Chains A and B, each alone.
Chain A
Amino acid sequence: MTQTPVTDSAVNPQVAAAPVAVDVPMMRLHVKILRFNPETDKKAHWVTYDMEAQPGDRMVDVLNEIKWYKETGLAFRRSCQHGICGSDAMLINGRNRLACKTLVRDVAKDGGTVTVEPIRGLKVEKDLLVDMEPFFDAYRAIMPYFIHPTPFPAKEQYQSEANAEKMAHSSNCILCACCTTSCPIFWVNGSYIGPAALVQAHRFIFDTRDEAKQQRLGVVNQNTGVWRCRTAYNCTEACPRGIPITQLIEEVKREVMFGQS
C-alpha cells in the first residue's frame, strides 16, 4: 500500500491506515483495470491507475487503495481478504487468482504494468463484479449436502483416516470460481457445470457416509457434466487452494465408468 498520510483515516474513519514498513522501498506500478459501467458503457474499456506499493503488498491492497483514494466507483468483491471467503477471484496478468493471495512482487516489477480483468464466462455486472448465479446453480445441481435417508446408527459413524483422505483435497474448496472461469470449455459452453461443481461432487461421491452416490453420479454423467472436461489443466493451475482439480475430475470420470450401478 502506498504511504498514506495520517489524515486519510479521517477521510474514511472505518478504515484504519495500514501500518507501513518505512524501510521497504516502494514500487511504482501501472494498474490497468478493465472497467465497465452498465449505465454508461456499451463496451468494457481499460483504465490505468499509477500507484505505489510495497513488494509485499497484496493486489487487493492496491485495489482498495484505488477504490478508497482514487476512484470510489470501482466495483469489486472482497470480504475476508485472507484467502478464505473466495470473493476476490479475478484475472490478474492473464491468470485467475485471488487478489488477496497475490503479492505485488509476484506479478510486477518496479515501473511495470499489472492488468486486472473480471473472471471470464460469467456476465460482468460492473467492473470486476460478475454475476455468480450460474456458478452457484451448477454447485446446487450436484446436491452439495449430506444425504442419508436411512436412520443414523445409534453409535458414531466411523470415518477411517484412509476414507477421509479420499476427500481431503475436495473438501478444501472455497467456491471462489477461479477454476470454473479459467476453463476454456466453460467460456464457450456455460451449461457445463464446471470444475468447481465437479470438485464438490467428488467431495460427496467419495464420502463413505453419504448415501446418494448413485444420484450424484447420475448428475455428473449428464452431457453438461464430467465428460465436458477436456483436461486443459487451467483449473488446476488456477486453484488458490492447491487442489489437484483435474486429478479429482478424472477420479469422478472413472467412478462414473466403473462405480456406477
Chain B
Amino acid sequence: MYKGREGQWAFLLHRISGLAILVYLLLHVFSIGSMIFGEPFYMKIHNTYDFVLFRLGLVAVVAAVVYHAFNGLRIILMDFTSIGVSVQRQAWYGVLGITALATLYALIKLIPRIAGGY
C-alpha cells in the first residue's frame, strides 16, 4: 500500500462510503418498491432485514452518510478556496470527529433496535 497521508485516506473513504451509500439506496428503493409485488413479498424482504448484520448496518449507514456529506463540504471548500487546500488536513480530522460523534449518537439511539429487533 502506498504510504500516502491524510488526503489519500480521505479520498479512499469518500469513494468507499459513496459506493456503500449507493448500494444502500438501491436496496432501499427496491425494498420499498417491492410493495408493487404484493404485501407478502414486501414483508418477506423486510423480515430478512431483522438479521443482526442489517441491524448493525443501520449504524454503518449513518457513519457513511455523515462522513460523505461532511467530507463533501471539505472538498467544496478545497475546490473553491485556496484556504480550503491549506487547511485540508485539519478539516479532515474535523470530518472524522463529526462522523465519530454522529455514529456514537446513532449507536446509542439504536441500541434497543439492535438488541431487540423489530
Which positions in A face B, CB cutoff 8 Å?
91, 93-95, 120, 182, 184, 230-234, 236-237, 244, 246-247, 250-251, 253-254
Contacts and interface: CB of A to CB of B under 8 A. Distances in A.
Contacts of A253: 79
Contacts of A95: 2-3
25 contacts: A93-B3, A94-B1, A94-B2, A94-B3, A184-B2, A184-B4, A184-B8, A231-B75, A232-B4, A232-B8, A232-B10, A232-B12, A233-B4, A233-B8, A234-B2, A234-B4, A234-B5, A234-B8, A236-B7, A237-B5, A247-B85, A247-B86, A250-B82, A251-B82, A254-B80
Interface of B: 1-8, 10-12, 14-15, 75, 78-80, 82, 85-86, 88
Contacts of A120: 2
B11 A182 contact: no
Contacts of A236: 7
Contacts of B14: 230
Contact of B85 (A93, A94, A232, A246): A246
B6 to A, nearest CB: 7
Contacts of B2: 91, 94-95, 120, 182, 184, 234
B31 to A, nearest CB: 31
Given A94-B1, A234-B5, 16 more contacts: A95-B3, A182-B2, A182-B4, A184-B2, A184-B8, A230-B15, A231-B79, A232-B10, A232-B12, A233-B6, A233-B8, A234-B4, A237-B7, A246-B7, A247-B85, A247-B86
A250 B78 contact: yes
Nearest to B88: A233
Contact of A237 (B1, B4, B15): B4
A178 B46 CA distance: 51
A233 B80 contact: no
Given A184-B11, A184-B12, A233 B5 contact: yes
Contacts of B4: 182, 184, 232-234, 237
B3 A232 contact: no
Contacts of A91: 2
A184 B80 CA distance: 22
B82 A232 contact: no
A247 B7 contact: no
Contact of B7 (A93, A234, A250): A234
Contacts of B8: 184, 232-234
The 10 closest A-B pairs by CB, nearest first: A233-B7, A94-B3, A232-B11, A234-B4, A247-B85, A232-B8, A232-B7, A95-B3, A230-B11, A234-B8
Counting chain B CB atoms within 10 Å of each CB, the highest count among A91, A94, A230, A251 belongs to: A230
Contacts of A247: 82, 85-86
Contacts of A93: 3
Contacts of A254: 79-80
Nearest to A251: B82
A231 B12 contact: no
Nearest to A181: B2
Contact of A250 (B1, B3, B6, B79): B79
Given A246-B85, A247-B85, A250-B78, A231 B3 contact: no
A231 B8 CA distance: 8
A119 to B, nearest CB: 11
Nearest to B1: A94
